[in-house]
Structure 1
Amino acid sequence: MKAVSLTPERMTADERHAAFWLAGVFSLRMLGLFMILPVFALYAEHLRGNTPALAGLAIGIYGFSQALFQIPFGFLSDRHGRKRIIYIGLLVFALGSVVAALADSIWGVILGRALQGGGAVSAAVMALAADLTREEHRTKVMAVIGVTIGLSFAVSMILGPALNGWIGVPGIFWLTALFAVLSMGVVRLLVPEPPAARIHHDAEPVAAQFGRVLFDGQLLRLNFGIFILHLLLTATFVAIPLALRDAGLASAQHWEVYLPVLLLSMAIMAPFVILAEKYRRLKTVFLGAVLALALAEFGLLNLHATVLEMAALLLVFFSAFNLLEATLPSLIAKMAPADAKGTAMGIYSSSQFLGAFAGGALGGWLRGLLGLKGVFAFTTLAALAWLVVAWTMANPRYLSSYTLKVGDLDDAQAQLLAQQLNKVRGVAEAVVVATEGVAYLKVDRNILDEPALQHLVAAS
């Protein structure tokens, strides 16, 4: 077999274009979902039939339908083609945005938001990205998409209040529908056609692996973590816009709080990410960030009478939130079985969206029952519960995912090669999937014997 280079060639132009444009599709969709988060609680007060509980449900309902449909959409894309399923999902998303824009009642917005979430194309887009990239570059492509999603969230928190003062929440929904149509055009005209749809264990869920991933104790802790993180985010923003208004800040000026808070929080986060990964203090940094979330929520419980108090506490909240949002996927990648990263990430994403649903629904219900203090008391207790669960998390192994193309093998050859790969210094885990012709490894790059790995793969 031809030798496989462990220092691969640069990404091709098609691979770079696929990464860039698919990240753009994710960005436009996430902007549409999140731009209403900092403004909807105030807008809902003017809708027919509104109650605090229904307003919270409208904010979070997209998470329920997203969690329900994203993995099935991924499976459907395996059978019926990536782009076809992505078009259908984006069309449903656009339809939901139009329904919400035209609605004059809270139930109409709830229906529109549920349809937005039903256009759950995340798994299909990830699978398309995997189809269009070589194994050795796939981690970089997924990282580009992940960074873009994070930036989209930050931008949406600033754009939402600014656009609300200009075009209102219905205008934001119309803009979101336009984003979905533009995304369809991007997929049609700018994303290359995949040579064929294949199953990629590192990028998409595989039904046969659900059992071992769902019942892995360490992964369960991380799935609980992302559930609570997005529960906290959504529940907090059921209350924060109202608290800022009650403190005397007009809704059109809320961006003046969010902009400096988000920029400073990103600057604060960066050194902690370096400390966690480079200096291998991941669990310590992780626990510190969860504790910071709990303290921020406790602070909001007691100090939400002035804009300055809330701005300071939101800075703590978003510094911790951004840090955890960056480190949780890294922990999933470290702790998932080598050949089940895609399945682990699919379940993780579903947990994230269910958290958003629970945060909106419970946060709205508690606001109607107990007021803003009831919401912040709930989020404080939720963060403390996460701290207890996270404390029992095992120290992560500082391993990197490593994928090698090994060519056509039968099952016996694949099993033998996996045994040999597992003996190479620095390889902690190796699984060879014969049907893909790919070896999935977990390695410690600091001690990896790359020449031995190169020799073994070349000789197989």
Structure 2
Amino acid sequence: MHQLNSLEKRAAIALALVFSTRMLGLFMLLPVFALYGKELVGFSPLWIGLAIGAYGLTQAILQIPFGWLSDRIGRHKVMLLGLSLFVLGSVVAAMAESVYMVTLGRVLQGAGAIAGAVLALAADLTREEQRPKVMAIIGGSIGLSFALAMVLGPILARWAGLSGVFWFTAVLACAAMLIVAFLVPHSVSRSAGAETIALPQSLASMLAHGQLLRLDVGVMLLHLMLTAMFVALPPLLLKQQLAAEQHWQVYLPVLLLSFVFMVPMMIIAMRRQQEKRYFLINVLLLVIAMLISWQAATLWGFVLALLVFFIGFNYLEASLPAMVSRVAPAGQRGSAMGIYSSSQFLGAFFGGLLGGTLAQQFGFSAVFAGLALIGLVWLAIASTMQVPARSQRLSLPVSVTTEQQANQLASKLAALVGVQEVTILLADQRCYLKVSSQQFDLAQAQSLVANGNQ
């Protein structure tokens, strides 16, 4: 029970490959578009920013609907549909001669919003106690994709130009489609949707949840800063006499070294139960990185700024979804994560728009000054957040026919020692518990549920 079985291993590896090949194609554009986009008709810093961030807008809009659709027509069909749209967008962008058509291609790429369907299928195919491991494998693949993209993007663009990067993303998406068709296992029975798919009736309450809203705003600002930074950074590195094909020599060591600093901080924060303090420290690191970049006059200044930025970015990118999962009410994690994912992609869109606007109106250095101010706003917002006690999530099948029976069972379960939250969904016939793993007695809960089922 403590190890992944063969189906779970196959699902984790296959879905990680689907996720990472797609994200690799998206990330590869970040370090090269501001440099090689100059050859396109209509080039301007504003349109470069729009093209970089455009995929985020359609991702943010379609992330939740695609998740709902996967519940109705099947995960595999939605994943293949999304990847087909991604291939179409990549081809449009590869054949484009103007920045406007590239932006259209990016919009189509973003329309393939399959993240919800992928994560829902991962939940379908895994036991609840093993699900965090599978999600961690998928999440880790995204981080590796980003690091690899920072290396491959400049090399490929130098060899094949900007269109070559888009053709390569199309090939990667086709490979992901083959993985979905032949390697990703099919789910026979779907898991209860409330924990994996955003439910329409839950969205309003999630948006009104103060602590979740702080985290949603946080991830939006985090990806806004990342996207806007890459509107300005590549041209500034070029001014430091670093050729475009050599930029990976900065990105790769910086990313690797950032993990050396980030991982110990995460361990210390968890062991000492000081998550909020270290969270705020890393938001502050983003501000410091932007200020260094704003004033940097040498290549080593930008290298230092990048290192400081990615220490903070990697820490926050790992911490934010874990916090959302902890804060989300029992039985509503799917809705909470759906809004979180949409906020993340919306941040990418606004980052491209803001970065392009500031660069066009005030110059590239002004982008970093603006991002420093945004970081300070986030620091103020984050200072008011509350980190909940660590908890475990469980779901149990129930057999209750009326709302009165559900309320009675929920009251009895809530009275058990260690139970933090109880949610019973009549439609799913599932009971969701948020519990303290040290104090909670699972046998007592199972006994109450069994008696309630009789």
Using structure 1 for the length normalisation, give the TM-score.
0.94
Aligned mates of 2:293, 2:140 — CA distance in 1: 29
Matches within 5 A, 1:342-381: 342-381=334-373
Q: Tell me what 1:205 maps to.
A: 198
Is the counterpart of residue 62 in structure 1 residue 55 in structure 2?
Answer: yes
Structure 1: gaps (5+ residues): 1-7
- The answer to whether the 8 A contact 1:82-1:197 is kept is no
1:221 and 2:209 equivalent? no
Partner of 1:4: none
Among candidates 172, 175, 186, match of residue 193 of structure 1 = 186
1:144 aligns with 2:140: no
* 1:334 positional shift: 1.5
Report what 1:432 is aligned to: 424
1:14 aligns with 2:7: yes
CA distance in 2, matches of 1:58, 1:259: 24
CA contact (8 A) 1:401 1:440 kept: no
**Counterpart Cα distance in 1 of 2:142 and 2:392:** 21
SS in 2 for 1:402: strand
Q: 2:300 aligns with which of 303, 308, 322?
A: 308
* Amino acid paired to 1:237: F
Distance 2:160 2:192 in 1: 43
Kindly provide the amino acid, as one letter, of the partner of residue 313 in structure 2. Answer: F
Once the two structures are superposed, the pairs formed by residues 77-156 of structure 1 within 5 Å of their partners are: 77-156=70-149
**1:359-438, aligned counterparts within 5 Å?**
359-394=351-386, 396-411=387-402, 412-438=404-430
Structure 2 vs 1, CA of residues 143 and 401 (structure 1 numbering), >3 Å: closer, same or farther?
A: farther
Task: Name the CA shift for 1:17/1:417 in 2 (closer, same or farther; >3 Å).
Answer: farther
Contact 2:396 2:432 survives alignment (8 Å) = no
Decide whether aligned partners of structure 1 residues 290 and 272 sit closer, same or farther in structure 2, where only a CA change above 3 A counts. Answer: same
Q: 1:293 pairs with 276, 280, 286, which one?
A: 286
Provide the rounded CA distance (Å) in 2 between the counterparts of 1:409 and 1:280: 39
Contact 2:28–2:152 at 8 Å: present in 1 too? yes
The question of whether the paired residues in 2 share the 8 Å contact of 1:136 and 1:404 is answered with no
1:266 to 249, 252, 259: 259
Paired residue for 1:331, among 317, 323, 333?
Answer: 323
1:5 maps to none
CA contact (8 A) 2:2 2:130 kept: no
SS in 2 for 1:201: helix
Report sequence identity in percent. 49
- 1:255 equivalent in alignment to 2:239: no
Distance 2:316 2:258 in 1: 12
By how many angstroms is 1:197 displaced? Answer: 4.3
* Number of residue pairs matched by the alignment: 451
Kindly state the Cα deviation for residue 453 of structure 1 after the two structures are TM-superposed.
Answer: 4.1
Q: 1:13 to 1:410 in 2, by over 3 A?
A: farther
1:454 is displaced (CA, Å) by 5.3
Aligned-partner Cα distance in 2 for 1:369–1:342: 41
Write the distance in 1 (CA, Å) between the matches of 2:412 and 2:137. 33
Instruction: Tell me the CA shift for residue 214 of structure 1.
Output: 0.5
Tell whether the 8 Å contact from 1:403 to 1:438 is kept in structure 2 after alignment: no
Matched residue type, 1:308: W
The separation in 1 between residues aligned to 2:449 and 2:273, in whole angstroms, is 30
Pick which of 103-112 and 132-141 moved more. 132-141
Structure 2 residue runs of 5 or longer lacking an equivalent are: none
> What is the letter of the counterpart of residue 210 of structure 2?
G
For the aligned residues, what is the CA RMSD?
1.7
Could you tell me how far apart the structure 1 residues matched to 2:344 and 2:25 are? 17
Match of 1:3 in 2: none
The answer (yes or no) to whether the contact 2:397–2:429 under 8 Å persists in 1 is yes
